[in-house]
Amino acid sequence: MKDSSNNSDNSTTLFQASHMMILVTMTVASIALGLEGILLNWEKWPMIPIFAAVAVSWTLHIHQTFNDRYRTVIHCTVLMGLLFYYGIHPTSTFDLSVTACIGIVLCTTTGVKKLIYFCVITFCISFGYNIVLILSETPELFDALMLSRIIYHPLIVFVVGWLGSVLIDLWTQLLDHSKHEVEQLTEATGRFNEFLTKVSHEIRTPVNAVLGLSSIAIEQAEDKEQLQNLREIQLAGKRVAEQISDILDYSEVDRQRFAMNIEDYMLASVLHDLVMEIKPYMKKGVEFIIDVDPSTPAMLRSDVAKLKKIIWHLTTNALKFTQEGGVYLRITSQPQGYGINLVFDITDTGEGMSDEESERIFDGYYQASNTYTRQAGGLGLGMSIVNGYVSALGGFLCVNSVKGEGTTVRVTIPQEVVDPSGCISVRDPGRLVIGAFLNFEKHFIPVVRDFYNRMVVNIVKGLNVQMHRVDSLENLIRLNSSIRMTHLFVGEDEYAQNIVAIEKLAENSNITVSVVASDRVVLPAGTRVHLMEKPFYCFPVAEVLNRVSTEEVTDKYMYCHGIRALVVDDEPLNLTVAKDILGRYDMSVTTASSGQEAIDICSKEAFDIVFMDHMMPGMDGIEAMRRIRSDVLGAWKSVPMVALTANAVSTARESFRIAGFDGFVAKPIDILELERVLRLVLPKTVVTFEDTPHSRKRNTNMRRRATDRVDDSAAAAREIDGAVKFGRRSTDRIIGALKAPATDPGALKTPAADPGAPLGTERSEDVFTPLRKLGVDVTQGLLYCQKDEEFYRSLLVQFASEAAEKRTNLEKFFTEKNLNDYSIIVHALKSTSKMIGASDLSAKAKALEEASKSGDFATVENGHKTVINEYTVLTDTILENYGEDDPGENEAPGQSTVATAQDRDALEFGPVDDEPLEFGPVNDDVLEFRPESEGRR
């Protein structure tokens, strides 16, 4: 027979309970022997080593000293000592067999046959000793009965020992067979996982191509039906991509082979990405509320990719299985010695689960409700992935669900703290007075109202600002008359029902008005109301509050006389723009085209402020900034460094601040934001305000005051005409009487239009018509150039003249699949094309930048040729029309585009009143809602 000692690991694994059984048995036996020894007057001294051996056995077991096999041998040796001590007394001769059988059974539970042999040998020695002693002292007792007993008792012990040995052999064979099957299943599972991984990767490549091509097609589509079909294709492609990702993640969890990627991250960035990815799952009638404790540290350290997956799966699960009500994501932190415990509570008002369903949700491929499975879709892997990733990050997960009421999932994950400052902050909260026209009573499920109330309270407390909430237009009117609000947040329904009043308030006051609405909402043309897409939560609110408000603007011209500024950017066009804009503040501007050049210049010259681009070849802006602060003279540590970059995502400002920058200005440069940063980082004594522009500026293109109205050259009259779409309200038509704007310099100096024709039709072409035909937003380009047409034309020529080198580099890096350098070039193209108003080309360059940064060559390959072609057509057009022309030779002098009275009548506008529109009750004389076929009377 096969010796079980060769399978000791399997045996000890199967019979782990034998340790405790042997310890308990020998403890009871030692106490019984002690009592019997006292009653029968046995030797007392052997009890001392017996009790000591029992105590040692318990100590070894409790402290898990030695391995299982050695401890088993020690325990059984002590047990055999007890058996021997009991058996050497003549009174125990024929009771010994029963005791030995008990010992054999205990040894059988260990799965080690040698211990059975040990027990049988111990019995034979003790039994033989007693028989010899009896026969030598009382031979008259030897008779037939004695002989039968001498034969019968050892035979019983031998049979029991043989049965125990056979049983161990059978168990060993079963273990070997089971082990072989487990190995086969494990191998099959491994091959299956590898197959899934390979298939997923193979499928992912064409799916990425579908997504990339559909994105490009969506940007080019003009037909509405075709556009909708393309969006459906893109949505289906995203679903496939998500399911492929789930398969790969589940395979990683199932094999317990986690590739941990620990890095610093910002909670604001994680939530921003989550909101962008989760929007397709948000549905009408289900509110998504995010509530963040403002004291949560701004920057943490963990595997941020797995953290995102955890939140994403839990949130999308909650949204999928919630048909009405809402989903509430609450994020808090608990300070610990190692950092914090980051806590996510996801509560929904869905159907909930029974206890049995709650226990099974972590099983792979299981979904709680077959009814909702068909509606929600998915592979049933989400919770298994969440559970695996939470365990991998050292956290724990708790599910509390009530059938018919909803589910709450709490995830707690330990995190290291990189930046302990709060994740949300606003500048100068004391100046902010916030109004909120948000009627939470419209939500008929009480818990949703409670979610919103808690979130608003936490925002107010965390940001330390004043907020006044009203639930009706009448109360808003009273609030506006009693306090001076700086910001107003309006709900989607509240805005739809009171649009005229809200538009008047935004038009005729310094209040920053933001409408919290879904992405289906389109605001009226020319509105001053801002759209804040749902969900309504702290980070977008803080971003709005941190924007420059009209209250910060002065009517005077701002100057920084004598300030020495260094601008660092690898893109010559950006350097030209920055030098011109900063020069208008009477600064002395020096430029550098790389981080190393900036370091060299700073080592030779002194500057009062440095503007640094982020993405540059070789040395990026953050490294250059740190090198300047650390390697150049110590005085440089106090020189303000401002990040001047096209990276304008909502979390960029905070990330650059943490990196060490003193300020942040997004490209293209916004004048109000630039002036705010200059006032913030420069000494107050060097910032002056004057009534007239400095004499060195061009008389014909003087920088405007910040409060001057930005005109719209695309139309001579502003309208709010059928542009508000609230789901089914897409047929609503809104016609208002508003003041026509002034003409746009440098835009439309054209021959007079036919007075009787509708404005904007049959006009002669202006000087920038070739660009407009290509979709270039000339008005926006002029705004970036401070309405300086001459400067704008020079930028166009410079943009086109640099194109040949950029295209060569793009083709080179594309051919070499050098995505790192490729991303830097398209990043620059994104910035410069947006600067001249080529927003479509800028958006496509941005898509290529994001794809190249993520290593997605398939998407780059799909979009590269389109971008190169559009880039070539645009630059050829610029060189052909503006390369050698005089800036004004194509303009017809003396012409203007100010709208005539007939023009305004043709637009179906009512009489124009130069008096400002008052904020007050709305009546039918001011604005009418009527079908599109009807005109204004």
Q: What's the pLDDT tens digit per position in 223-234?
A: 888 888 888 888
- Give strand pairing partners of 435: 468, 488
CB contact at 8 A, 269 and 655: yes
- Would you call 326 helix, strand, or coil by DSSP? strand
Q: Give the residue from 119, 48, 43 showing the smallest Cα distance to 79.
A: 119
- Would the CA dihedral through 246, 846, 822, 659 be positive or negative? negative
Q: Give the residue carrying structure tokens 């999308």.
A: 316
- The pLDDT of residue 409 is 92
- Which residues contact residue 438 at a Cβ distance below 8 angstroms, ignoring those fewer than 6 apart? 452, 456, 469, 471, 489, 490, 491, 494, 516
- Considering Cα of 851, then 855, then 859, then 860, what sign does the dihedral take? positive
DSSP string, 552-610: G--SSEEE-TT-EEEEE-S-HHHHHHHHHHHHTTT-EEEEESSHHHHHHHHTTS--SEE
Of 250-264, 285-299, 382-396, 577-591, the least confident = 250-264
Report the pLDDT value the prediction gives residue 719, as an integer from 0 to 100: 33
Distances (CA, A) of 140 to 91, 132, 135, 137, 146: 17, 13, 8, 9, 10
Look at residue 315 in the predicted model and tell me its pLDDT: 92
Q: What is the distance between the alpha carbons of residues 672 and 665, in angstroms, rounded to a whole number? A: 10
Give me the residue label for tokens 């260990």. Answer: 110
Partnered with residue 299 across adjacent β-strands are: 266, 419
Q: How many angstroms separate the CA atoms of 96 and 98, rounded? A: 5
Whether residue 718 has pLDDT greater than 60: no
For the chain, what is the largest distance between any 2 Cα atoms, rounded to a whole number of angstroms? 150
- Residue-wise DSSP of 136-186: HH-GGG-SHHHHHHHHHHHHHHHHHHHHHHHHHHHHHHHHHHHHHHHHHHH
Q: Write out the H or E segment, with its range, that includes residue 421.
A: strand 406-422
Residue with tokens 């007792």, as numbered in its chain = 141
Alpha helix positions (H), 256-281: 267-278
The two three-digit tokens of residue 119, written as one number: 């027990």
pLDDT at 633 (0 to 100)? 56
pTM across the whole model: 0.53
Calculate the average pLDDT of the chain: 76
Work out the angle at residue 685's Cα, subtended by the Cα atoms of residues 681 and 687, and round it to the nearest 5 degrees. 65
CA 582 to CA 791: how far, in whole Å? 14
Question: Does 839 have pLDDT greater than 50?
Answer: yes
pLDDT value for 555: 53
Q: What share of the chain in percent tops pLDDT 70? A: 78
* pLDDT for residue 620: 84
Give the tokens for residue 104. Answer: 């054999």
With a cut of 70, say whether residue 444 has pLDDT above it: yes
Dihedral, 870, 874, 875, 878 alpha carbons, nearest 10: 170
Between 783 and 763, the higher pLDDT residue: 783
- 531 beta partners: 515
Closest CA to 318 of 293, 343, 342, 345: 345
Residue 692: predicted pLDDT: 63
Q: Once rounded to an integer, what is the mean pLDDT over residues 71-98? A: 86
Which residue, among 438, 451, 530, 531, has the nearest Cα to 287 in the 3D structure?
451
Of the listed ranges 587-601, 665-679, 752-766, 787-801, the least confidently predicted one is 752-766
Task: State the angle between helix axes of 789-801 and 572-583 in degrees (0 to 180), rounded to the nearest 10.
Answer: 160
pLDDT value for 637? 60
Distance from C-alpha of 638 to C-alpha of 217, rounded to nearest angstrom = 50
Is residue 345 scored above 90 in pLDDT?
yes
DSSP per-residue codes, 433-458: EEEEE--GGG-SSHHHHHHHHHHHHH
pLDDT of 205 reads: 66
Q: Is the pLDDT of residue 910 over 90?
A: no
How many angstroms separate the CA atoms of 89 and 93, rounded?
A: 7
pLDDT at 367: 54
Pick the more confident residue, 868 or 704. 868
Q: Could you tell me the two tokens for 631?
A: 């390697």
The percent of residues in the chain predicted with pLDDT above 90, rounded, is: 10
256: left (phi over 0), alpha (psi -120 to 50) or beta: left
Instruction: Report CA-CA distances (Å) from 228 to 208, 218, 219, 283, 350.
Output: 20, 9, 12, 18, 30
pLDDT digits (tens, 9 = 90+) for 386-409: 888 998 999 999 988 888 888 999
**Coil, helix or strand for 917?**
coil
What is the pLDDT, as a whole number, of residue 412? 94
844 closest CA partner among 867, 875, 870: 867
- Specify the pLDDT at position 897: 35
Q: Which residue has the tokens 């509390």?
A: 400
Neighbours of 596 (CB within 10 A): 15
Q: Does the pLDDT of residue 705 top 80, yes or no?
A: no
pLDDT above 90: residue 565: yes
How sure is the predictor about 331, in pLDDT bands with cuts at 50, 70 and 90?
very high
- State the amino acid at position 194 in one-letter form: E
- Highest average pLDDT, of 8-12, 505-509, 907-911, 927-931, comes from 505-509
Asked if residue 755 has a cis previous peptide bond (ω within 30° of 0), the answer is no
- Judge whether residue 770 has pLDDT over 90: no
